[in-house]
Structure 1
């Protein structure tokens, strides 16, 4: 097995570090690179273009799929790298952040801007905290966080579609789907707040435990 696949060297038996040049990292980089194209397609013609909104939806779906695929490949083939640990959450927050901002621009309502700003502050605060001060603190992914991610993907994906821009026989189905997507957005917003609360609560508990153990360790 090669070093890029996380194998062992024949002479020392030590586990070789996987190279940053691997498929999961390439998919992650591709997701980051797709963000401006998604944003442009979403906002083309003021967000009223059926064609470009559909293209934006395709880009968004591809980003969500590759997010799942690159994680599975990295774990299965032992291709987890420091670059991937940093770039993967950035890619996720970049595409969803662009979706929240783009949809807020298109809808131009106070409540959508409120949701977008609150969600972005929560998401980036958690991400930056994980990448910086929590190097010695391990916070397992909560189930609410997984539900939040799924709810956001569904809501943003459907809202990216030109549901209110279509005419003819698609007019009524589009309106019904749009209403359902807004309901899912409310669910995603609630889960975002709750999972954020759970995360910061667990961080506080972990840091409290570490500080409590530090004096005991120093007294030995």
Structure 2
């Protein structure tokens, strides 16, 4: 859905009808991802592949939203850059430390994703056309998403270092 979403957002950025449809596609994609995770946990279908790559799919969708909104000058580029550096950096970190163990998403990361998703949905509704109170809520949510993104990124760095350290200690003792 990412290419369709990106095309819809960038091809008709100020048409309210298109923006509603674009927001619907984004929301549907986020909800199907949520449903996929719940189904996997409920029926014990969780895999290491899913733990590693499901977050990457989330990053592709939200990344397109952040970049698209910045291209349209509806979200500052510095917000998009900091968030994407964190998102893809942590995804790369997960892949690099896989030899020490799988680092699945934690509660903070899930709260970050939820906050980002709600803020993005509000922005995608074409924020300039919304009442001022709605814009304020969207800005506050985006600020919270930004802070959660940075804080949880630091938390993942600590968790990766701990995972590596524990692996090395365990394997050193086994020798």
- TM-score, scaled to structure 2: 0.89
Measured on the aligned residues, the alpha-carbon RMSD in Å equals: 2.0
206 and 86 in structure 1: CA distance in 2 versus 1, 3 angstrom threshold: closer
Aligned to 1:163: 127
Cα distance in 2, alignment partners of residues 132 and 140 from structure 1: 13
Aligned to 1:210: 167
Aligned to 2:135: 178
Aligned to 1:38: 5
Structure 2 matches for 1:99-178, cutoff 5 A? 99-107=65-73, 112-139=76-103, 141-165=105-129, 174-178=131-135
Alignment equivalent of 1:94, drawn from 56, 60, 82? 60
Aligned to 1:21: none
Aligned to 1:69: 35
Aligned to 1:53: 19
| Deviation of 1:87 (Å) | 4.2
Q: Between 72-81 and 199-208, report the one with greater CA deviation.
A: 72-81
Cα distance in 2, alignment partners of residues 77 and 117 from structure 1: 37
Report the 3-state secondary structure (helix = DSSP H, G, I; strand = E; otherwise coil) of the residue aligned with 2:100.
coil
192 and 138 in structure 1: CA distance in 2 versus 1, 3 angstrom threshold: same
Aligned length: 175
Alignment equivalent of 2:158, drawn from 201, 204, 209? 201
Cα distance in 2, alignment partners of residues 144 and 51 from structure 1: 34
| Structure 2 unmatched runs, 5+ | none
Larger RCO: Structure 1 or Structure 2 (Cα < 8 Å, ≥ 6 residues apart)? Answer: 2
198 and 85 in structure 1: CA distance in 2 versus 1, 3 angstrom threshold: closer
Tell me which protein shows more helix as a share of its residues: 2
- TM-score, scaled to structure 1: 0.72
Render the CA deviation track for 1:76-124: whole Å, top value 9, x for unaligned.
2333456544542222111100000001111266xx2011111111111
| Deviation of 1:42 (Å) | 1.2
Report the 3-state secondary structure (helix = DSSP H, G, I; strand = E; otherwise coil) of the residue aligned with 2:18.
helix
Cα distance in 2, alignment partners of residues 87 and 134 from structure 1: 12
Cα distance in 1, alignment partners of residues 55 and 108 from structure 2: 17
